[in-house]
Homo-oligomer: A and B are copies of this chain.
Amino acid sequence: MKIKTVATTSEDNLTPTMEDYLEAIYTLSQEKRAVRVKDIANRLGVKMPTVTSMLKTLSDKGMIDHEKYEYLELTGKGSHIGSQIDHRHQILKSFLIDILQIDHDQADEDACKMEHAVSPTTLERIVEFMEFIENCPRSGSDWLDLFSEYRRHEMPREKCLEKMKDFVDKYSAKIRAMER
């Protein structure tokens, strides 16, 4: 028989918003020696009282150490989660910028929302996909350049043909190299 262990506030079901706070605190503490309430508010685009009340919540959940009017620090748990979220953010941002060629600011904005939406499986698959693009001789960075041109509709027949020939030459050389 299963007995539910006294469920207090301290369960670590974090909402996306809480994750955002942990991520912000994590990145801020990497940028400067001390994290201030004001900085968190600025980073997340909310007012200071909102931060204060969230700090209370995160304290109760054992994610941060915080004494009134004093500096705050992530606990081991909080730091771990903060870095995780930041990691997801970086992966998604890289995908948006390097593969989809989204501009920096937009990528950052989208990554910030997507980091809460994407499952671990999908995130891992995105990493594999980026690796695959990089490593497969048929894709790689010149193929991504092609995507860039494709988007701009700058792909007249002759240019395309020329590029295809270029590619097939290099590709054949690669095969010969492998055979040796």
Contacts and interface: CB of A to CB of B under 8 A. Distances in A.
Contacts of A14: none
11 contacts: A102-B122, A109-B119, A110-B122, A114-B117, A117-B117, A125-B151, A128-B151, A132-B146, A138-B167, A164-B171, A168-B171
Q: Which of A119, A165, A167 gathers most chain B CB within 10 Å? A: A119
A147 B171 CA distance: 18
Interface in A121-152: 121-122, 125-126, 128-129, 132, 135-139, 143, 146-147, 150-151
Interface string A153-175: 00001001100110110011011
Contact of A106 (B122, B129, B151, B172): B122
A165 B147 CA distance: 24
Task: Bin the interface of chain A by size.
Answer: 35 or more
B136 A99 contact: no
Contact of A121 (B106, B129, B175): B106
Contact of A110 (B117, B132, B165): B117
A14 to B, nearest CB: 15
